[in-house]
């Protein structure tokens, strides 16, 4: 190595060791003071280098690639390239990188570099390497903590929002954005824009904003309430003040989607109400059924007692007494048959014996038998010339028509005319039974064909029955592929309609035995 004049470095400038009393000051700087030529060969390194990294100063000065070779492998390429690029552009620069210490540890350094130029070319580098290992480790720990908090916030099922006292959004999690269908929220955004964005989603926005305003006016208050959205979802909203060292600095809002739980609770309450209603209907039915079954039994017992006395006295028995007893037997049989049919309908076991049935003949038979049903009512029949044939169970269809006629008589206690009509409409045969009786309210019409409707809605006295007739009629007609409905006004009578698909001529011929 060529000898140099004392106090001069390789470039002919005054070297740091020859700068008088500055050596002690340089060595006491809390960092590595260094100089190097543009090729990154070090010409001076302060003694802090040995204290920080453990390598003798001589190695920095004698090994041309010492700095590059002792950079951390992950930083070696980019750090050296960044420094060389800045030197070429004659720019001062600052960057952080890692070096491997003599004991194998990793030391983070912040390097502040000044490029000295002469005649438009860089000829010397001055720098200061500061140990920032603790700062970097603290930063990494902070970043790890923040990352953990963010992961914790994003993994919770609740949507969280934090605002400061000025209404700036300071934090929120992904679940909050998903719950409210919001994207692009930024820190420090005003909550007024957020409130405007959610307004259209709220079922009752006025109540929602009123509660928000009340809590902003009373920062120390906590709150819990339920928020319903227009799309049917239900959220629990919980809010409490955010405190730092005992002082209120903002407010935390928590939102939890409880839609399934609330709907399940409402369903449970509805089912419970329905169960209570079913129990009430059952109890009412049992009461009415007991009354209805007892009603024919009492006169039947009296008629039988009279017959027995007559027989014991060996007196002739009047035929009308037997007829009266048989009428009560028929009435009792009808009630029992209704119960049996209702059970079969409920179980889906009501059987039909299908065959071609002439509705014209069926209507004529019913009209002729009607006079025996009530002497206080007249019968008017409006029947077409053409025959209307359906595929069905004649006995069950006769049962439906008889039930409608009995109801017409029962619910027009002041007498009047009962009209029976048969017509054709859009390929269906329509049987109608009309009366001028007490009529049915619009509210009751929705339940008219339900089981036990009469038992739960009509008084027993005057209008007897188990409330099963129309329930059975509806099932019979629907099993025939038809429909039954009513037109009625309270106090203006009722008209019941039954529509059944007409059997065309070809199908009629094929259905004949």
Tell me: the pLDDT tens digits for 319-333?
A: 777 777 776 776 677
Q: Are 230 and 243 in contact (CB under 8 A)?
A: no
Query: 65-94, pLDDT tens digit by residue?
Result: 999 999 999 999 999 999 999 999 999 999
Region(s) of the chain under CATH 3.30.450.20: 16-137, 156-257
Distances (CA, A) of 350 to 117, 345, 406, 448, 473: 109, 5, 22, 20, 11
Q: Residue 483: its pLDDT value, please? A: 94
Q: Residue 461: its pLDDT value, please? A: 47
- DSSP-derived letter for residue 14 is B
Phi, psi of 127 (to 5 degrees): -150, 165
Interacting residues of 256 by C-beta distance below 8 A, sequence separation 6+: 157, 158, 159, 235, 236, 238
Query: 387-418, pLDDT tens digit by residue?
Result: 899 999 888 898 888 889 888 888 887 878 88
Interacting residues of 64 by C-beta distance below 8 A, sequence separation 6+: 39, 41
In the predicted model, what is the mean pLDDT of the chain?
A: 82
Question: Token digits for 399?
Answer: 């049962």
Specify the CATH number of the domain 16-137: 3.30.450.20
Distances (CA, A) of 447 to 73, 241, 280, 444, 468: 84, 53, 16, 5, 12
Taking each helix axis from N to C terminus, what angle separates 469-479 and 319-347, rounded to the nearest 10 degrees? 60
- C-alpha dihedral over 203, 209, 212, 216, to 10 degrees? 180
Length of the chain: 513
Query: If you write DSSP's letter for every residue of 81-98 in order, what string do you get?
Result: HHHHHHHHTT--EEEEEE
**SS3 label, residue 204:** coil
Q: Is 423 buried (19+), middle (13-18) or exposed (0-12) by CB count in 10 A? A: middle
Q: Which option is the CATH number for 350-511: 3.30.565.40, 3.40.50.2300, 1.10.40.30, 3.30.565.10? A: 3.30.565.10
Q: In 10 A of CB 329, how many CB atoms?
A: 14
Q: Residue 285: its pLDDT value, please? A: 64
| Rounded (5°) CA angle 300-302-304 | 70
- Rounded CA-CA distance 434/378 in Å is 12
- Rounded CA-CA distance 161/213 in Å is 16
Q: Which residues of 72-101 are buried (b: 16+ CB within 10 A; e: fewer)?
A: eeebbeebbeebeebbeeeeebeeebbbbe
Region(s) of the chain under CATH 3.30.565.10: 350-511
- Where do runs of H (alpha helix) occur along 348-393? 359-370
Q: Using pLDDT thresholds of 50, 70 and 90, give the confidence band for residue 431.
A: very high
Q: Which option is the CATH number for 269-346: 2.40.50.220, 1.10.10.10, 1.10.287.130, 1.25.40.20? A: 1.10.287.130
Region(s) of the chain under CATH 1.10.287.130: 269-346
Q: Using pLDDT thresholds of 50, 70 and 90, give the confidence band for residue 154.
A: confident
Region 505-509: mean pLDDT is 49
Identify which has the larger pLDDT, 285 or 223.
223
Of 169-183, 311-325, 332-346, minimum mean pLDDT range: 332-346
Q: Is 246 buried (19+), middle (13-18) or exposed (0-12) by CB count in 10 A? A: exposed
Q: In 10 A of CB 324, how many CB atoms?
A: 17
β-strands 32-36, 93-100 pairing: unpaired
User: Is the CATH number of domain 156-257 1.10.645.10?
Assistant: no
Closest Cα to residue 360, out of 507, 487, 502, 509? 502
Phi, psi of 317 (to 5 degrees): -95, 125
- Rounded CA-CA distance 140/146 in Å is 10
Express as a percent the part of the chain with pLDDT over 70.
83
Q: Using pLDDT thresholds of 50, 70 and 90, give the confidence band for residue 258.
A: very high
Q: Residue 513: its pLDDT value, please? A: 53
**SS3 label, residue 163:** strand
Q: Are 161 and 195 in contact (CB under 8 A)?
A: no
pLDDT at 289 over 70: no
Q: Using pLDDT thresholds of 50, 70 and 90, give the confidence band for residue 310.
A: confident
Q: Residue 23: its pLDDT value, please? A: 64
Sign of the torsion formed by the C-alpha atoms of 102, 103, 104 and 105:
negative
Interacting residues of 375 by C-beta distance below 8 A, sequence separation 6+: none
HSE-up of 485 (CA within 13 Å, CB side)?
7
Question: Token digits for 236?
Answer: 């629990």
């Amino acid at each position: 190595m060529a000898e140099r004049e004392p106090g001069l470095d390789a470039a002919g400038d005054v070297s740091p060791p020859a700068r008088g009393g500055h050596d002690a000051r340089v060595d006491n700087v809390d960092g590595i003071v260094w100089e190097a030529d543009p090729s990154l060969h070090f010409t001076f390194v302060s003694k802090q280098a040995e204290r920080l990294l453990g390598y003798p100063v001589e190695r920095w000065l004698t090994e041309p690639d010492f700095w590059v070779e002792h950079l951390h492998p992950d930083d070696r390429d980019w750090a050296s390239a960044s420094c060389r690029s800045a030197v070429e552009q004659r720019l001062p620069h600052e960057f952080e990188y890692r070096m491997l210490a003599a004991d194998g540890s990793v030391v983070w350094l912040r390097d502040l570099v000044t490029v000295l130029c002469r005649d438009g070319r860089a000829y010397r580098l001055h720098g200061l390497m500061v140990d920032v290992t603790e700062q970097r480790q603290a930063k990494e720990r902070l970043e790890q903590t923040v990352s953990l908090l963010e992961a914790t916030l994003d993994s919770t099922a609740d949507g969280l929002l934090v605002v400061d006292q000025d209404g700036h959004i300071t934090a929120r999690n992904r679940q909050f954005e998903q719950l409210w269908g919001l994207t692009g929220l930024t820190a420090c955004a005003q909550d007024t824009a957020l409130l405007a964005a959610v307004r259209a989603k709220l079922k009752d926005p006025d109540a929602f904003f009123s509660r928000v305003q009340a809590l902003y006016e009373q920062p120390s208050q906590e709150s819990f309430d339920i928020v319903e959205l227009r799309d049917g979802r239900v959220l629990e909203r919980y809010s409490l003040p955010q405190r730092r060292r005992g002082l209120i600095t903002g407010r935390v809002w928590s939102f939890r989607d409880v839609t399934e739980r609330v709907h399940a609770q409402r369903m449970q309450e509805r089912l419970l109400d329905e169960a209570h209603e079913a129990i009430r209907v059952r109890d009412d039915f049992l009461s009415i059924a007991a009354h209805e079954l007892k009603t024919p039994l009492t006169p039947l017992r009296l008629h039988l007692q009279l017959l027995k006395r007559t027989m014991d006295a060996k007196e002739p028995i009047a035929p009308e007494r037997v007829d009266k007893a048989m009428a009560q037997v028929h009435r009792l049989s009808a009630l029992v048959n209704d119960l049996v049919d209702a059970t079969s309908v409920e179980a889906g076991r009501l059987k039909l014996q299908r065959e071609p049935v002439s509705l014209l003949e069926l209507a004529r038979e019913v009209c002729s038998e009607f006079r025996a049903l009530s002497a206080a009512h007249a019968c008017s029949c409006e029947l077409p010339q053409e025959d209307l044939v359906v595929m069905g169970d004649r006995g069950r269809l006769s049962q439906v028509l008889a039930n409608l006629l009995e109801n017409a008589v029962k619910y027009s206690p002041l007498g009047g005319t009962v009209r029976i009509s048969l017509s054709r409409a859009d390929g269906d045969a329509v049987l109608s039974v009309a009366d001028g009786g007490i009529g049915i309210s619009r509210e009751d019409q929705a339940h008219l064909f339900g089981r036990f409707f009469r038992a739960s809605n009509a008084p027993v006295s005057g209008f007897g029955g188990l409330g099963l007739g129309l329930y059975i009629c509806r099932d019979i007609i629907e099993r025939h592929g038809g429909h039954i409905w009513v037109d009625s006004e309270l106090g203006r009578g009722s008209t019941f309609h039954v529509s059944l698909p007409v059997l065309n001529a070809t199908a009629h011929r094929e259905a004949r035995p």
